[in-house]
Structure 1
Amino acid sequence: MRRAVVVVLTVVVLAIGTWIGWPREGGPVDPSAPDAGVAAPGGQDEFGGPDASADDTPAAGGQVTGPVDEPVDGEPAAGDPAVEVTAEPEFDETAPSTPVEATWDDTVRTAALDAARATMTAFAATDQDADAWWDGLEPLLTPQARPVYQDVDPRLVPVTQVTGDPEVTDETSTLLAEVAVPTDIGPYTVLLTRADGAAPWLAEQIRPPEGS
C-alpha cells in the first residue's frame, strides 16, 4: 500500500515539473535549436514586447533614426540655441559737422572780392543766350537767390562789363559782406553770404546803381 502511494506522488511531482517547464505554445525549448533566444520578427520578443534597442539603432550614414524635436508655437525646439538677432545700428554719414568759426582777415576779404567780381562778370555777360548766361551765373548764387534770377532775360540787363576793382563796403558781420563793383553804368552792390568760416562766399543780391 505504501509503495503504491509513493509511486503516485512521484508521478504527480514529475507531471507538475514537466508542466512548469513546458512553453505555452509549441513544445519544450531546445537550447541547441537555431532559433533559441532569437527575438521575434519586428523587434519583439516571444511575449510580444517591443525591442528596447530598436529606436537606438543608427541609420545609414551614422544618423540616429529616433524622434526629432520640433518647434512648438514659435518656440525653438529642445536643444536649439536661443539666439536673438538684432540689426546693426545705422549711422548717418551726411550729418553736418561742427561749423567752422568765421573771422575776417586778408584771405577772407580777398575771397569776398573775387566772388563779387565773378558774380558781376557773369551777370554782365549779356551777349550770350539765356541758357549759357544762366549756366555761368547759377553756381555763384545762394539757393535762395537762384529762383529770383533764373527767369531774368539777359537782353534786359543794362550792364555789359566790369570796369574796375571791387571794394568791400561793409564787413560788420563775419558771415555777410557788401562789395561795390564798378561797371559801365555805375557801381553795382553785391551782397555776399557764407554758411561758416569754411564755406565759400555766394551772392544773395545783385543791386544796380542808385537811380539807374
Structure 2
Amino acid sequence: MRISIVFTRTATVGLSALLVSGCALFTPASSVEDEARSSTPTSHETHHSGDGHAHDEFYEGVPDVTWSPSTNAEVEAVAVEVMDLFARPEVPERRWYTDLLPHLSEEYAEDAQYIDPANVRVNEILSGPSLVREKDNPLTVTAEFSTNAGPWSVLLHRVGQDDPWLVEAIQPTEPANP
C-alpha cells in the first residue's frame, strides 16, 4: 500500500507558518538566559530614592490594612450579630438564610444555603467572642464563642481597610460528640 501526501498551495503556506512559529517556541535555553540577563539592570542601572521613578510599583494593588483597638470592637460586633442570627434553630429556613446572607462571603453563602437551621444545635450564646488572629494579619480573624452546644467559632475576613467583615465559616471548634 502506498500513501502519497499532496500539499495544496494553502496547506504549504500554513505549514511554513507553523514551522516558523515552532522555531520561536523552541528557542534554546541559552538564548532565553541571555535575554533575561540583558533585561536585568546592572548595578549602575538600579533605582534609588529621588531618581524620579515610582518605587512602590511592586506593591500596587496590595491593600494597606491595619489593626487597631477600634477594629476589635468592629469585628466583635459583627461576630456577635452573626452568631445571634445563626443560633436560631426555630426560625424558618428561608428567613434564617436571608437574615445571615448580608454577612456571608460569596463562597460561604453558597454553602450556607443548604444548612437547615433545625439541625443547628446552638440556640444560646454563653460567652464571647474571644478574638484569635495571626499577629501580622489584619485581614482575617476567628471569633470564638462558648455556647450551649460547646465552643463554636466564626471565621471572618475582609479584603481591605474599609471593606466589611464577611463570614467565611461558622463551625464547632471541637468535633461533635456522637
The TM tier, using the shorter chain, reads 0.5 to 0.7
The structure that is helix-richer by fraction is 2
Structure 2 CA distance for aligned equivalents of residues 142 and 211 of structure 1: 24
| CA positional deviation for 1:139 | 0.9
Report if aligned partners of 1:99, 1:197 keep a CA contact under 8 Å in 2: no
> Quick one: structure 1 residues 118 and 171, their matched pair in 2 at CA, closer, same or farther if it must change by over 3 Å?
farther
Match of 2:73 among 110, 126, 130: 110
The structure that is strand-richer by fraction is 2
Report if aligned partners of 1:162, 1:184 keep a CA contact under 8 Å in 2: yes
Q: CA deviation digits over 1:153-189, x for unaligned, max 9? A: 1111111121112011124311111111121111211
Q: Alignment partner of 1:166: what SS?
A: strand
| CA positional deviation for 1:119 | 1.3
- What is the root-mean-square deviation of aligned Cα atoms in Å? 1.5
Give the letter for the 2:140 counterpart. L
Q: Which aligned segments of 4 or more residues in structure 1 are displaced greater than 3 angstroms?
A: none
Report if aligned partners of 1:116, 1:181 keep a CA contact under 8 Å in 2: no
Q: TM-score, normalised by structure 2?
A: 0.61
Structure 2 CA distance for aligned equivalents of residues 99 and 118 of structure 1: 29
> Quick one: structure 1 residues 100 and 209, their matched pair in 2 at CA, closer, same or farther if it must change by over 3 Å?
closer
- Which has the greater radius of gyration? 1
Q: How many residues align?
A: 115
List runs of 5+ in structure 1 lacking aligned partners. Answer: 1-97
Matches within 5 A, 1:15-164: 101-164=64-127
| CA positional deviation for 1:131 | 1.1
Other-structure match for 2:158: 194
| CA positional deviation for 1:151 | 1.3
Report if aligned partners of 1:144, 1:204 keep a CA contact under 8 Å in 2: yes
Structure 2 CA distance for aligned equivalents of residues 148 and 138 of structure 1: 11
Q: CA deviation digits over 1:97-153, x for unaligned, max 9? A: x77521111111111111111111111111111111111111111111101110111
**Does residue 1:184 correspond to 2:148, yes or no?**
yes
The share of aligned pairs that are identical, in percent, is 28
